[in-house]
Chain A
Amino acid sequence: MEGLKQASAGSLESNDLLVFVSPGSGIKIEIESSVKLQFEAHIREAILSVVHELGVHDIHIKVEDKGALDFAVRARVKSAILRARGEK
């Protein structure tokens, strides 16, 4: 990730997710989810859409999901990345 810190966003409440981002090489995504079986692909896609939107190329993202909808996945990933960039 472009020379920046670790950060996190979100929570472990139902319908939310906890996102951890840290520097990495390439885009590495780890997903733990209460609905992994049914929605892993959706979650991954939502994460990637934000990563691309923010023009990030190198990042390690880890999420612990409690059934968040796509909009919340996008929001929390976005928050975490912006926080890591020091943009609050």
Chain B
Amino acid sequence: MRKIPNYIEGYGKVTPFSGAFSDMGAKKVIGVEITPKAPGESKLVASIEEFFKKYPPFDGMTLSFHHHLRNGDSVLNAVFSELEKYPVKEITLVASSLFPVHAPLVKWIEQERLVKIYTNYMSGPVAKAVSQGKLKYPVVMQTHGGRARAIEVGEITIDFAFIASPSCDAYGNINGVNGKSACGALGYAHVDAEYGRHVVAITDNLVSYPNTPIEIFQHRVDSVIVVESIGNPAGIVSGTTKITKDPLGLKIAKMAAKVIEHSGYLKEGFSFQTGAGGTSLAVAKEVKELMLSKGIKGSFASGGITGYMVDMLRMGLFQTLFDVQCFDLDAINSMKENPAHQRMSASLYGNPHCKGAIVNNLDIVILGATEIDTQFNVNVTTASNGMIMGGSGGHSDTAAGAKLTIIVTNLIKARLPIVKECVTTITTPGESVDVVVTERGIAVNPKHSELIEKLKKVGLPLFTIEELKDMAYAISGKPARVDFEERVVGIVEYRDGSVIDVIYPMKG
């Protein structure tokens, strides 16, 4: 793989990745400066304009946002739109994810006023601009758990933590389940609320005090701004796709289910997580059928929660759900009504340096991939031309914690081999990846000799990962090597803050 520099301008000294659990010594979280409020002091601010008049923005400030409103978000753009009026520069943005709707940031990047970004996932014009090297300092791509860790130990200091709040009272009690812009759980916002210097709730639904239920409590919140709208509901709850109808996706899902069935991990009390994509949902359906036919009840399902998982909870197939974000209305309603549908913050979800995250007890996780190499390293950050079109999100968190990590993917997509010699960018290290399931065959990480034997006996088409790569190249032709300019435009931080890879400017 590529060499990782010892020092990166705009980032600092680099600790190279040296193993998923190589840094588990004692940690200390930082103290945060707090401005107490006495009785009678109001937190309400009439508008974002009034807010910045009262609390002026300054050069070098750090702003944070959560991404629970996904591509329907209008809060981030509204804040930056207001900041246009100020000559501020050297801004750092700590946004848990960035979507195409955040395109107005491109201007800020090109003008070098926004100079640094920390994020766990990005796509669209902002991702393209960063991939082209327009951001002054390299973007830092983190994991959901890693972002929480970094903020808790003070690697990132947030000056203004903006919390888009679907439901909020005048004193800052926030939930995400009520209101016209309801989004469900606010898992990614907790660490911002706990460690931001000035925590600002921005709501389009001011309710009478006290709000119920409360996800983020008033004693964390400094100011409350009321606006007309925080987002577009169509863009907020559009996260779930339907179960794939693609016959190859269905085939992959059936094979993955067979792996699960014979892995030894599908038993009473097991735990499970899957993504929101079409093939991942197809796997969830197969697992549901297996659980029903074998009379198995699981302990928990976790992650971003969809209506499919809610169904399984309702059917009594899982004892509880741990939800960091809701992908659809079903999930939002279930969270409101069912005590067994529990929230989790990003830190509780996947922080490697807390006293035991949810992922630590995860048995089986289903994940996707843009590329996988012969060391089982997975790339979900860049396309093979180097363009950033994703990011770990919870990928390396869950892969590290789960006992059985299964990657489901086509072997080839539109001629591009997914299984290849070397990935363009490493997001998740091969040591965390156990099985790769494609429509043409399955590869098991060689360290699991027992699992290989078990699956061979069941007649599954097993190959070595090299054989899958050879199969892919035989069909598509061997892809030409893409050479990148050696200028770092992005840093891929592993969960523990070490650097697992760097991103070079995209080609073409």
Contact = CB atoms under 8 A, between A and B. Distances in A.
A and B touch in the complex (CB under 8 A): yes
A68 B482 CA distance: 19
B333 interface: no
Contacts of B416: 35, 38, 67
B480 interface: yes
Interface string A60-74: 000000111110000
A36 B415 CA distance: 11
B414 interface: yes
A25 interface: no
B15 interface: no
B475 interface: yes
A40 B414 contact: no
A39 B508 contact: no
A67 B479 CA distance: 12
A80 to B, nearest CB: 20
A41 B482 CA distance: 13
Interface string A17-44: 0000000000000000011111111100
Interface in B413-448: 413-416
A39 B480 contact: yes
Given A14-B414, A15-B415, A67-B416, A37 B477 contact: no
Contact of B414 (A36, A37, A67, A70): A67
B342 interface: no
Contacts of B475: 69
User: Top 10 closest A-B pairs, CB basis?
Assistant: A67-B414, A38-B479, A67-B415, A42-B477, A35-B415, A38-B480, A37-B385, A37-B482, A14-B414, A37-B508
Overall SS of chain B's interface: loop
Among A35, A36, A40, max chain B CB count under 10 A is at A35
Nearest to B506: A37
B262 interface: no
A28 B193 CA distance: 62
Interface of A: 14-15, 34-42, 66-70
13 contacts: A34-B415, A35-B479, A37-B480, A37-B507, A38-B416, A38-B480, A39-B476, A39-B480, A41-B480, A67-B413, A67-B414, A68-B415, A69-B476
A68 B415 CA distance: 6
A40 B480 contact: yes
Contacts of A14: 414
B384 interface: yes
Contacts of A42: 477
A33 to B, nearest CB: 9
Nearest to B475: A69
A42 B479 CA distance: 9
A60 B416 CA distance: 27
A70 B384 contact: no
Contacts of A69: 415, 475-477
Nearest to A45: B477
B415 A37 contact: no
B384 A38 contact: yes
Nearest to A14: B414
Contacts of A35: 414-416, 479
Given A69-B475, A70-B477, A39 B384 contact: no
Nearest to A35: B415
Nearest to A67: B414
Contacts of B477: 39, 42, 69-70
B166 to A, nearest CB: 38
Contacts of A15: 414-415
A66 B479 contact: no
Among B384, B413, B476, max chain A CB count under 10 A is at B476
Nearest to B507: A37
A86 B508 CA distance: 38
A35 B385 CA distance: 9
A37 B413 CA distance: 15
B508 A36 contact: yes
A17 B479 CA distance: 18
Nearest to A72: B415
